[in-house]
Each structure stands twice: as C-alpha cells, then as structure tokens.
Chain A
C-alpha cells in the first residue's frame, strides 16, 4: 500500500514536506509515524491529502530521481523501524520530496520550478491547487533495472578504431539499444597491451576485467602524467621533483641526528604511501593532512559533488594508517563569474544545460556546509576565487586534517598506528553504505573532458550521518580494540581499487604476491538488478574496506551492529597473486596482480615551449583613473578575488571540537584570516596552523613563478600567524587543463620545478598531493556554436604546521592606537608576476618567527594580492582602526603605484607596541624592513609619500567596501 504523509509548518504555509511510503502498514501505524515526524508546536500533518492551502494556485513537488541518495528517507526509515519495530524483511520504502506553493499562472510556476531543481538528480512536478487541496499521484521513484546478461566477454581482436572506441566510449552493452557503457578512459596503447595480455591467455577478457583494469589504470588512480617519463626526466615529475624534494629535505634533517622537530629534526612519518600524509604532532600523536579535488561531479551536481568531496576526503583520514580522527576541514573554490547569465549547453541541440556559476556556487557552498557541519568536523580554512575560465569546470578543493595516536594498544604490546597490512586469510569486510549505480565511472570520468558523454550516474550525494556512525565506530572503538589488520577508503573505483590495493600489502615471502577472492553477490545492494561489473566499480559512498582476522570477525560484527553500521564479509585475502572474483559461484574475473598493478605501459611524454605569455592585464588604470589612488584601492578591496567572504565562513561551524584558536574571521572588523590555528588535543598547548595559496592568474605569464609565489605565500601565511618553518609541511594540488597538449605539459614541468626549488630552499617537505589533469569543457553556446573552455592551470599549495605554544598566535588586524607599523621584506616593481627571492625571504621569515616567539608582535598580515595598500586596508578594517603611514620604501625610484600595489612576495605587514620596538628592530637587523608609521584610533587611513598624500580614506568606509561582495552574495545563498 502506498500512503503519503505531508508535514507542513504551522506559520509559513508556502512549503511542505512529503513522505511517500510504500509498505504494508495499517492506517493507524502510518498515523503513529506521522506523529513522530511532526513537532506539534511548529508543524501539523495530513495523510494522503493536503488540504487547507490558502492563496496559492500551484504546487511544485521536487523529489529525487530513482536511485539518488535520499538521506532524509534513510532517517525516516530508521525512525519507522524503531517506532514500529519493523524487521529487516518487512517491506518498507520511503521517498521524500519537498513541496513549494506558488501563486500566478502555470507558466510562472514552471519558471520557478526551474530554479528549484537540478534535472540530473531531481524531478519536478507541478499540480494545480483545487478547492484549497492538492492531489499528488502516488508514483514511486523506485529503481527498476532491466534483466541483463550478468557478464559478457569483450572481443578485443578488433580494428584499432574499435579499440579506440571501446577505450573512449566504453564497452558495447548487450541490450537491444547497443549503448556504450561509458568511458574506460584507456588510450590505444593501453587497449593494445590488454589485448596482448589476453591473447597470451587465449581468451577474451570479461567486461568486469576490462572495467577493473580501466579503474586501476586511470589517470585518477595511477597519475600517469606525473609518473611517466617526460622529456629527459626519466623518472617522471612526481618521483623526481615532488618526492625528490621531500627525500632531500628529510635526508638533510636526518643527518642532524634524531632531533625534535622544533630543533630541526625530521618530522615526516608516513608520506606519499597512505591515503594522506602524516607528520609528528608531539610525542603521542601524529597529525595528517590530505586535500582532494571534486571538480567534475561538482559541475554536474554542485551540492552532491561538494558534499561527496568533503566526506570523501574525511574517509582518507579515517583510512589513514589504522584510522585517524578528522579534526579539521579545509576548502577552496574556483568559480566562474557569479554575474554570468549566458547559458552553455553540453549538447548541440541545446539540451543538457550547464548550471550557471551562481547556481554552482550556491550548491558547492552548501555541500561543504552540510558535509562538515553534520560530521562535527570544524571547517576552518578556505578561499574562494573567480575567473570566467572556471565557467566550464569549477574547481572544488576539499581537505581534512586528522589526528591519530602514534601507538595503539595491541595484544601483548603496542602497534604503530601508521602501519597496516592485510594478511592472507583475513576476511575482506565492507562497512558503511550500500552499493547502487551511483558513482559508476567516477574515476574514469574525472580523467576526461566534460561533454555530452559525461555519465549522469557519476553523480553521488554524500551521506554524512551514515559516515559519522561508521567513523565513530572505527576510529573511536574498533581501532583501539585491535579488531582489524588494515583499512582503506572506498573512493575512486570502489571496491575494485580498495581490494586490489590492500591485496598488494599482504605480507608474504619475497617474490610472492598477495591476492584476494571475492564473492560479489555478498555485497549489500541498495536495489536489485546490478550487474557484477557495476557492483565491482561503483563508487557508492560512505564505505570502507577492512581486513579482519577470522577470529575477530564476530566481535567486530557485533560492535558494528550495535552502532548501527552495516558490515559484511565479501571474501578473503589470499596469497595467490591473483584477484579472483566470483558471482553466484561463477568465476567472472581472474586477473594477475602483477598485470593489474604494473601492466600499464609506460609512455614517454613530451613538452613543447609554453604558449607565449599573454601578460596579465595591469589591474591598475593608468593615472589612477576615477577617484585617483583612493579609487583604485577601493576597487581592489571590493574585488571578489580580494574582499571578504564572511557569508561562507560564518555558515561553517569552525568551533566544534572546541579547538579554534585563530578563527576564519578575526577582529572587530571580521576580516578573513590567511592562516587558521586550532588545538587538536584539548589538554595540550600545541597548536596546528593551516594556510593555503593559489595564484592562477600569475600562470598566464609564468607557471614557474606562479608556483613559487603560491608556495611562498602559503608558508608566509603560516609564519605570520606564529607557525615555525622547522615544523611545517606542504601539500600540492595540481588542477590542469588539456594535459595531452605538449604546451600545457611544458607549463606543468615549469610548475613542478618551482615546487622543488621552493620546498628545498625552505626545508618544507611535501607530504601528500593530488592532481586533476583534464579540467576542460566542450559544449555549445545559445546559438549552437561550439565552445571550449579550459581552466587556467591552477596549483594550490596547502601548508600545515605545528606550533609549540598556541598562546603565541598572532592575528592579522591592528590592535592599538600608537602601535608602530612595519613592512618586512623588499618591494620591487612587480605588478605582473612577482619573482620569489628564496634566500632573502627565508631570512625574513626566521626573524619574524623569533620576534613572535618573544611576543613582540601585536599584529601580522601577509602582503599578497593587491599589495601593501590592501594589506594595510585589511589590517585597519580588521582592527576597526586607522593609520598614518608614509611609504618611504627603498628603492626610491619605485613608482607610487608600485609602492602601493606591487605584489612582491616575501613581505609581511606587522604592528609592534612602542615598548617592544627596540627589541624588535634589533632582531630584524640585517633584514630588509621599513618603519611605515602608526596605528591611529581616529579611524582615518592616511598614506603619504614624502609630501604627497596618496591615500586618504577612513576605516568605516573601507569596512563597508570590504564586506560589500559578501553582503551581495548572502542574498544568493
């Protein structure tokens, strides 16, 4: 029987919640359930018919498409099961939807509906209100899959054209429609290697074998562009420059002997080998960090893409070592212009419209909000950037910091928390969510250009509560009870990748390889009818794979059950050197581990000279333009790439876990901080400091300097807040475009070289990284003309440091009338792309560190985009104070524009209480610094150059300008 419960708020009558229930429950029981879903003070309920609708002409119902994750539906099912004592075998399904009431014509209702739903994941239905009532048909959005042949063999003895087609568009399905299954993202050499392998085996591969190889060999999983030889760099970019820098830095530190990190000792513990990078926090804990991107899914379904991104990277933490606890989230957004109104389409027939940047922004911001807030993880650190070139593919960075004890209790002693190995004979156990069609081909999809072939099934919606239950049960209980030998996340490629990865760790005598045997029919499904290959590679969320020793399974299972977490044995790890998959007692896959992991052919990559630099448009109108220098300053401060974004910061819970020290917004004027500090261990005075930097616009001129500036800024932000270079690690996230274009690869090589040079110079090792190499869009404009948009090459550097004493944290805003303002570092005429002087900057940073440790610095802010004038403006706005400064900066020949707006790196604007200036200047001896002037309580902001008054404004005005963009955006969210 199908019933519908409507719950409407008593006061606001323009909306209602609907719960469509497919069950055998009596009317009385449905009523009981309706009562449980209603707060009698705020809401009332109706069953089957919604009546007493006043003043509206139409109702719009927005529900999910079949199979899309319905989190509220899950909760209602749990409420019903608990209340009505439902058994697992009882038929009970619930489908939630939202109802909005509108007045006016049907056309008007249709127009409004378009703004309310995303056709990729949702459906909209419009019904008239008649006699104050609506009647919605009881249509169940149930997934019904056609019966298909479970496994097919794929003939690879075909033409090159056909091989290319299989690689690009997928295996031809055996149904009547002769549809391709979606991208394998395997190029011709890879397809030929696979064909050759099976020729030797004298058989065709099954579809599941081919899909499995495609997952494991995908750019997303294997990072082929960073791994393959490129020009004369034989070992590839990653090994030579990223890992190369870390190895060199560690070796240098280790040479000094076993020292504490604060004394210059090596603090890396687990880098590049696990789901995230781990460094020492103190003698008891490790702190770990990982930053991911989730760009392609966020372009299609911004909310789902972003929430999946953040809860996904949380799982990288839970899957680090034997399981770390997420203690902070970070984010970074690059969007198209939020004022953009011109549509773009993925299909030539003007169907499949791209969402406008403002819609993408709304959804992504909300996704990170729900993902972090619902999981009880503070969302601390983040940034937002805009450029028209992110119109086709937005960038969504999501990061997580985790905490794990260095040692864990184990039978008869301790075990190192960051070491894990599955053993032959261990059960392969899946915990968490169930498997559906969501996220099929996510890994291969993210390795290609976004166009009309992009699979809608690649969209997933994260379920933070299912994951929170799982996370708590693992990290807070099972881990410390020593109930498993290994754990990893199910991310890209689903269990096909996680099982194969874990099988690789199986401890065996030299020369022998581990393996796994799986019975796919044991995998719990969301709905029946999935084919084996779909189960194997589905990226359905909130799942982890564990290796549980047989004798511990019962205890483990019981614990999971008591925490409301589903756990299932799907097979066991073996010593066979093979991944063997069965489905209903039939072998459907039998692949050599060696071929699976190492069979991917190496390909030599080549670069060609970079495209000639376009040159960045000088951001300053010559001669000062209207309003003179004041006008330029105000325009810059209002620029969405510089101004505040409190509309995001304040909707993210950054105080949960009671750890915040330096918050995302600081001072009476609430400016966004460039670095954030928190305390992950509540009874320790050690702090963790986070920051990030990216300069995609500099890349238009030089990607080498773009990277050097990003690294310099991320590190400078940390030092400015009170962090120390000796205990500081960095992470890289490369978001590139058209990575099959040798010119783009040329830019990549330059970038990576700069990463190496800077990291080595500052002694800050890379501990983790990620790349997303094809952020391109191919589609059509409103006239059907082809459009292709590529993002500007974007490198995000995230930095994480440990502070010995959080009480020494310095915030960026000016503090007191009369404090002396200094500019540290050299200013050059750099309004294009600045060049980083590593040697000089290092000295400046070390000196600043010293003065902060001696508590001589009242405020400290990094000089970045917009130069000195913007740094001064932010420090004033933050403190709601004025200042009177004179820009007598060496060299004297600098133009006024350069003095105010040059973006030279390595500079910090600090203020110092008069009683401390003597000691401060003594420590700064030998460092380039300028005494600029004083903080003034009058609120007037005066900048002079000799007898010339350059800037004359006041803090109230600038405060308004600084927050104006945020205020405007607040209306959109």
Chain B
C-alpha cells in the first residue's frame, strides 16, 4: 500500500479550535462494514443529554460529496468485514478511501477532531497509514470471539478517548487481530515519538477479571507486546481491536450472571462519553 500523504500544512491548532459544544459524528458504512448501527447507538446513548444523533454515511455518499467531511468533528470507522477481509483485512476499504478522500481526510485530521477505528475500523486505519503497525492473522489461525481484559498505560490516559479509564473489559471478535509493530516506529511508552505526531499504546491485553473468571489466556491473538489498541495525533486518533460498543450494558459482560445487582451501564460507555465531553470546553 502506498503511504498516505498527510502533508497538508498544519494550521495553528489554537486558532483552529472552533467553539463547538456538540460534536457532529460521522460513522462510515458500506462494502461489508457492519457495526455502524450499534456504534451509532453507543454515541447516541452517550450523547443523549446533548441530543446528539450520529450520522451513518455510506462511503459512496461521502465520495459523491467529499466536502461533507469538513462538517464533522468525530470520524468513526466501525467494525465489520469490509470486502470480506479479502486480500487482507481493511485493505480494500482503505484503498477506496485513499483513492477518493485522501485530501479530505488530511484536512479532517488537521483540525481539532477525533477519530476512532474499532476492529475492522482499526484495520482500515492502519492501512490508511494514520495509525502505526498492522493487524495480521491471529496466532492460532482462527477467528475468535471472547472477552478480554485491557490496561491503559499511563501515557495514554490523557487521550481524549480514554480519560478516567485505567482498566476495562470488553469483547473481541476477529480473525486478524494480531498487532504487528511497524519496525520503523518501535513501540515504547511513547510509541512513534520523534515522528510528526506522537503515537502511543492505548490498550494492552492483561490478565484481569475476565481471564481469571474463565481461565483464559491474556493475549488472545499473539499481538506484539500485547498491544490491543494504539493512539496517534496526540491521542485524538484511536484504533482498537476490542469493541466498546458491545460493552454498553453490564449484562453483556459474562460475569453479570454471578451478580446481577450492578449498575446497568457497561464499561464501554465511558469511551463514547469521553469523545463527546472532549468538545465541551
């Protein structure tokens, strides 16, 4: 894949920060992405007080009206199976996005915006080149659906997406989720430091509540350094394999049946709430 040209001249961030209190959210769809509805539900629930209603936009509609992207503050690549993972997960969708929307994407990222890629969305983002590394086939060669425990390294906790979250349990469901580091951008607490934008590890698989509960391996797919998600653009762009939108309610967690008397809200909620709160300043 050819690298994406993001060399658009950066404007002064401070001047560029528009006074937006309610962000507009665009959730991409089409060609086999399939988690757009529950992801919209997650954003809409988190933004219920603000009457936020996220837009699901088919990639072909965005290609037809590329300027549309400039009206949004949060860009979402949801999970799914774009192009059936053919030729490698996320590749074909990223190609299409790049072929038609590279300029608009660069413009979007140059503003004080947020972006998230979940599962297939993360795979798309790495193929777009806006997040480092790549996602390869799970070490056991199989698709896997289970819950995992995640830890957020201190350096990532300042991210707009991750404020107030130190540990979280969420489900994964993927065949190509093994994170492989980009040898040119070695991971450290400040993954990618020295590049124009800072990239850091957002999530690491750890042995926590779920793994202990069901006696599961902590790193489900053999990811390098147990990486489950990464951040770039000073914490504004997040990619992760686990699905926060599938953890919006406590009953979704496998431990719920042990003790149903817990708050109804699930841990995934905070990720979406954080994104909306980011613009309230």
Contacts and interface: CB of A to CB of B under 8 A. Distances in A.
B143 A36 contact: no
Given A35-B1, A75-B83, A75-B84, A667 B257 contact: yes
B145 A465 contact: no
Contact of B243 (A464, A654, A655, A811): A655
Contact of A663 (B81, B245, B254): B254
A656 B79 contact: yes
A652 B87 contact: no
Nearest to A17: B87
A655 B173 contact: yes
A655 B31 contact: no
A43 B173 CA distance: 23
A661 B127 CA distance: 34
Q: Which of A71, A564, A654, A682 has the most CB of B within 10 A?
A: A682
A807 B251 contact: yes
Q: Which of B30, B32, B60 has the most CB of A within 10 A?
A: B32
Contacts of A807: 251, 260
A657 B1 contact: no
B81 A373 contact: yes
Majority secondary structure, A binding face:
mixed
Q: Which of B2, B29, B87, B245 has the most CB of A within 10 A?
A: B87
A41 interface: yes
B92 A75 contact: yes
Contacts of B182: 41
A657 B42 CA distance: 11
Nearest to B220: A650
A653 interface: yes
Interface stretch (B13-21, B33-41, B150-158): B33-41
Contacts of A43: 88
A666 B64 CA distance: 46
A422 interface: no
A525 B75 CA distance: 39
Interface size classification for chain A? 35 or more
B217 interface: no
Interface string A675-699: 0000000110000000000000000
Nearest to B243: A655
Contacts of B88: 37, 39, 42-43
A510 to B, nearest CB: 44
B130 to A, nearest CB: 14
Contacts of A811: 257
A655 B171 contact: yes
A375 B34 contact: yes
Interface in A21-37: 35-37
B188 interface: no
A472 B29 contact: yes
B277 interface: no
Contact of A815 (B86, B133, B258): B258
A376 B30 contact: no
A670 B215 CA distance: 10
B87 A465 contact: no
Interface in B125-159: 127, 133-134, 136, 142-146
Contact of A670 (B61, B99, B145, B214): B214
Interface string A512-540: 00000000000000000000000000000
Contacts of B258: 815
Nearest to B248: A658
Contacts of A660: 246, 252
A973 interface: yes
B80 interface: yes
Given A35-B2, A472-B29, A82 B99 contact: yes
Contacts of A468: 32, 34, 81
Given A36-B91, A374-B81, A652 B136 contact: no
Nearest to B143: A651
Nearest to B123: A39
Interface string A611-624: 00000000000000
A260 interface: no
A78 interface: yes
B257 A376 contact: no
A79 interface: yes
B80 A36 contact: no
B6 interface: no
Contacts of B173: 373, 653, 655-656
A76 B254 contact: no
Q: Which of B80, B145, B214 has the most CB of A within 10 A?
A: B145
B95 A83 contact: yes
A71 B183 CA distance: 32
B95 A79 contact: yes
B81 A661 contact: no
Contacts of A815: 257-258
A507 interface: no
B251 A376 contact: no
A472 B30 contact: yes
B281 to A, nearest CB: 29
A37 B257 contact: no
Contacts of B1: 35-36, 38-40
A564 B60 contact: yes
Contacts of A655: 145, 171, 173, 243, 246, 252
Contacts of B81: 373-376, 464-465, 468
A806 interface: yes
Contacts of B243: 655, 658
Contact of A78 (B42, B92, B133, B251): B92
B142 A973 contact: yes
Contact of A465 (B35, B84, B136, B257): B84
Nearest to B147: A655
Contacts of A83: 95, 99
Interface in B70-101: 79-81, 83-88, 91-92, 95-96, 99-100
A252 interface: no
A333 B131 CA distance: 42
Contacts of A375: 34, 81
B180 interface: yes
Contacts of A464: 32, 81, 84
B19 to A, nearest CB: 31
Contacts of A42: 88, 134, 136, 180
B170 to A, nearest CB: 10
A562 interface: yes
B251 A563 contact: no
Contact of B84 (A35, A38, A71, A652): A71
A343 interface: no
A654 B147 CA distance: 12
A561 B259 CA distance: 50
Contacts of A658: 35, 38, 41-42, 243, 245-246, 248, 252
A79 B99 CA distance: 10
Contact of A369 (B79, B143, B180): B143
A666 B34 CA distance: 25
A666 B85 CA distance: 29
A562 B60 contact: yes
Nearest to A658: B38
Nearest to A379: B145
B103 interface: no
A564 B30 contact: yes
B264 to A, nearest CB: 8
B58 interface: yes
A76 B83 CA distance: 10
20 contacts: A9-B136, A17-B87, A35-B1, A36-B2, A37-B87, A37-B88, A39-B1, A39-B127, A41-B134, A82-B99, A83-B99, A373-B175, A374-B32, A376-B80, A464-B81, A465-B81, A465-B84, A658-B252, A683-B41, A973-B142
The 10 nearest A-B residue pairs measured at CB: A376-B34, A75-B86, A658-B38, A41-B134, A653-B173, A811-B257, A72-B86, A465-B84, A374-B81, A658-B246
Given A42-B134, A656-B246, A973-B142, 8 more contacts: A17-B87, A37-B87, A376-B34, A469-B32, A563-B30, A655-B173, A669-B214, A682-B37
